[in-house]
Amino acid sequence: MDNKDINIEDRIDSLLAMMTLDEKIGQMTQVRHFEEIPEDAISSGAIGSIIHTEGPLPGSDAASWQATFTSLQKKALSSRLGIPLLFGVDAVHGQNTYNGATIFPHNIGLGATRNTQLVEKAAEITAVESKATGFNWVFSPCVAIPYNEKWGRVYEAFSESTALTEEMSRASVKGHQGRRLDQNSIMATAKHFIGDGATDNGVEGGDCSLSPQEVKERLLPPYQAAVDEGVGAVMASFNSMARLPMHANKYWITDVLKESMGFNGIVVSDWKGYSRFGENEIINAGIDMVMAVDGDFEMYREGLKAGVENGQVSLARIDNAVRRILRQKLRLGLFENPFPDAGLIAKIGIQKHRNVARQAVRESMVLLKNQDKILPLDKNLGKIVVVGEHADNAGLQSGGWSIHWQGSTENYTGSTTILEGIKRLAKGEVIYDIDATGDHEDADVAIIVIGETPYAELFGDIGGEIDAYQLTLSEEHQRYISTYVEKGIKVVVLLISGRPLVTTDQIDRSDAFVAAWLPGSEGHGIAEVLFGAYHFKGKLPHSWPKSVEDYQGKYGPNFWDSSYAPLFPFGYGLEY
Ligand code: BGC
């Protein structure tokens, strides 16, 4: 502990000595900015944090977002002890809840770049744009290690590799928070602790049946990296571990994370964690702050208060939770600087930020096949046909958690599409044949953009033991490819997806095949690589299965069994 830390602990001691039980529980409470709570809840000290995710926006533009949070903050400062609020947001690939922010490739694409400096820079920009919209806390990075691609959140994580995830997590926390958590930082959150991506059959919130030893070796290292980097918060996961819900899992949260690993920040519950996972048991397990959302507010604060009064929860546990929360508020300098900086608004979505996102798009693209060196494409080709609804739709190319929780199917402010990028660089004719019904026998090449439609969380689960069908392309998208192959036209396929899909036949049939993941707002980056202005750099962050059965092999009971032979191994990626 240096002098700064000692001073912080002293200030916490004096605040704790003045606080009532209600005020302490207040610090442990997080609600939405539009939640139905009593009029005086904030000014009476009954709320410690505000969250924004899906739902009514805090305002129409960044200035009004800031104004909303400033007025809520003023209420908190008017409370008896004047403790400021933390404002948290799901900014998981840029400030993606704000229409007009820079949206980066999802983490799976960043994992493909292997570029830690770039990941750090992306997190720094996300921090600036999130602060510009009024926040001091982001619920990112997701440091999960997906072991089953049927899971709907594979793209939120960097890789199936522990070592790569560890490096990327460190870079991301550093980018968000800076060298240490202070007034220049935004607080980051490593999530979801632990086992979220390793549930049986890839079910969101399912059971993870790995042994404690496997969890320690495979899943814990990125958390240790985040903790060593000073991550301010860790979010508990919806899944259970050997059937015990993680929210109520004292062994992992308190004994391992807090005590053995030395995490001294906030463990926050996930959505409605209190009512879903055992009420006061989650506090005893070590949850410090509860997302008391969607009607949970009253039952949570009354339930916890009763639990303390009847001895179910000790005051020492409450004091420890409040200490952790106040510690981060003090480190962030919120007592001195509680309000958002209006000067940052001008930085949202600026070209400098977009250029970094565009670099990330270019470096995330993985070239899986390049028959007869058809790529890079010649800019002077006479006629290029671009096919597929994903080609000209920034929403579809961005995936879930883009403008809306479940993503969008429309263009959004400041975004550029893949087609726009192609049109900008190609010197010849560019035709858009959205559904491959056009009559373009004379085309020199068809660029076919296909893939998944946006989803988030459980909505992206394929689930179940055998139902792996949707890990293949839709019949419509398969038809786009075969239509052009059958015309005898050279076919370049761009796959937009949040995970590897079973595309063995389509790869066979096409001349070039590129995994572009979920690139985000800067569609121009794609064409820059296709036309050779930049080289392919991306390397697979997941091994790529060759058949639907492979998913069972890869992720069956022995999913680290070396008998699994993928179509392309982890780390694969061709270059020009
Ligand atoms: C998700 C978290 C997210 C939280 C707040 C939950 O449903 O699992 O990743 O941070 O909602 O929006």
| pLDDT at site 566 | 86
Place of tokens 């495979």: 218
Q: What is the mean pLDDT of residues 200-218?
A: 92
CA-291 nearest atom, ligand 1:
5
> pLDDT tens digit string along 421-449?
999 999 999 999 999 999 999 999 999 99
Q: Is 108 helix (H, G, I), strand (E, B) or coil?
A: helix
Single out the catalytic residue among 120, 149, 196, 270: 270
| Angle value at C-alpha 421, between 418 and 427, nearest 5 degrees | 130
Taking the centre of ligand 1 as the mean of its atom positions, its distance from the CA of residue 460, in whole angstroms, is 14
| pLDDT at site 8 | 96
| pLDDT at site 392 | 98
Strand partners, 266: 233
Strand arrangement, sheet containing 266-268 = 189-193, 233-236, 266-268
Q: Which residues contact 562 (CB under 8 A, 6 or more apart)?
A: none
CA-191 nearest atom, ligand 1:
9
Two structure tokens written together for 47: 């709320």
| Angle value at C-alpha 421, between 498 and 377, nearest 5 degrees | 90
**Per-residue pLDDT band at 468 (split at 50, 70, 90):** very low
CA-142 nearest atom, ligand 1:
9
Q: Confirm if 534 and 522 have CB atoms less than 8 A apart.
A: no
> pLDDT tens digit string along 167-206?
999 999 999 999 999 999 999 999 999 999 999 888 999 9
Two structure tokens written together for 552: 């069972």
pLDDT of 416 higher than 80: yes
Least confident of 87-101, 131-145, 430-444, 546-560: 546-560
Q: Is 246 helix (H, G, I), strand (E, B) or coil?
A: helix
| pLDDT at site 557 | 47
Single out the catalytic residue among 457, 522, 528, 550: 457
Taking the centre of ligand 1 as the mean of its atom positions, its distance from the CA of residue 561, in whole angstroms, is 32
Q: How many residues does the chain have?
A: 576
**Per-residue pLDDT band at 551 (split at 50, 70, 90):** low
Residue among 271, 275, 291 whose CB has most ligand 1 atoms within 8 A, to mutate:
271
Q: Confirm if 100 and 349 have CB atoms less than 8 A apart.
A: yes
β-pairing, 207-208 vs 240-241, is parallel
Within 6 A (CB) of ligand 1 lie: 53, 90, 139, 191, 270-271, 457
Q: Confirm if 469 and 478 have CB atoms less than 8 A apart.
A: no
| pLDDT at site 552 | 62
Taking the centre of ligand 1 as the mean of its atom positions, its distance from the CA of residue 132, in whole angstroms, is 21
Taking the centre of ligand 1 as the mean of its atom positions, its distance from the CA of residue 51, in whole angstroms, is 10
Place of tokens 């008391």: 292
Residue among 49, 51, 53, 93 whose CB has most ligand 1 atoms within 8 A, to mutate:
53
Q: Confirm if 460 and 146 have CB atoms less than 8 A apart.
A: no
Nearest C-alpha to atom 7 of ligand 1 is from which residue?
A: 271
Task: Describe the crossing of helices 3-18 and 315-331 by its angle, rounded to 10 degrees.
Answer: 130
Burial (Cβ within 10 Å: 0-12, 13-18, ≥19) of residue 1: exposed
Q: What is the mean pLDDT of residues 243-263?
A: 98
Burial (Cβ within 10 Å: 0-12, 13-18, ≥19) of residue 461: buried
Backbone torsions φ then ψ of 247, nearest 5 degrees: -60, -30
Taking the centre of ligand 1 as the mean of its atom positions, its distance from the CA of residue 496, in whole angstroms, is 23
Two structure tokens written together for 340: 């958002």
Taking the centre of ligand 1 as the mean of its atom positions, its distance from the CA of residue 524, in whole angstroms, is 30
Q: Is 103 helix (H, G, I), strand (E, B) or coil?
A: coil
Taking the centre of ligand 1 as the mean of its atom positions, its distance from the CA of residue 552, in whole angstroms, is 28
Count of alpha carbons within 13 Å of 199, Cβ hemisphere only? 31
Two structure tokens written together for 569: 């191994």
CA-192 nearest atom, ligand 1:
9
Q: Report how far apart, in Å, the C-alpha atoms of 461 and of each of 153, 310, 395 are.
A: 8, 41, 20
- Report all structural domains of the chain as residue ranges with CATH numbers, in order of start: 3-345 (3.20.20.300), 365-559 (3.40.50.1700)
Residue among 33, 34, 90, 151 whose CB has most ligand 1 atoms within 8 A, to mutate:
90
Least confident of 134-143, 308-317, 372-381, 552-561: 552-561
**Per-residue pLDDT band at 563 (split at 50, 70, 90):** low
| pLDDT at site 561 | 57
Please confirm, yes or no, whether 149 is among the known catalytic residues.
Answer: no
| pLDDT at site 224 | 98
Place of tokens 């506090």: 283
Between CA 451 and CA 472 the distance in angstroms is 9
Taking the centre of ligand 1 as the mean of its atom positions, its distance from the CA of residue 256, in whole angstroms, is 23
Q: Is 303 helix (H, G, I), strand (E, B) or coil?
A: helix
**Per-residue pLDDT band at 559 (split at 50, 70, 90):** low
> pLDDT tens digit string along 285-323?
999 999 999 999 999 999 999 999 999 999 999 999 999
Q: Confirm if 79 and 504 have CB atoms less than 8 A apart.
A: no
- State the Cα torsion 154-158-160-163 to the nearest 10°: -160
Q: What is the mean pLDDT of residues 440-466?
A: 90
Average pLDDT, the chain: 95
Please confirm, yes or no, whether 270 is among the known catalytic residues.
Answer: yes
CA-405 nearest atom, ligand 1:
12
Backbone torsions φ then ψ of 318, nearest 5 degrees: -60, -50
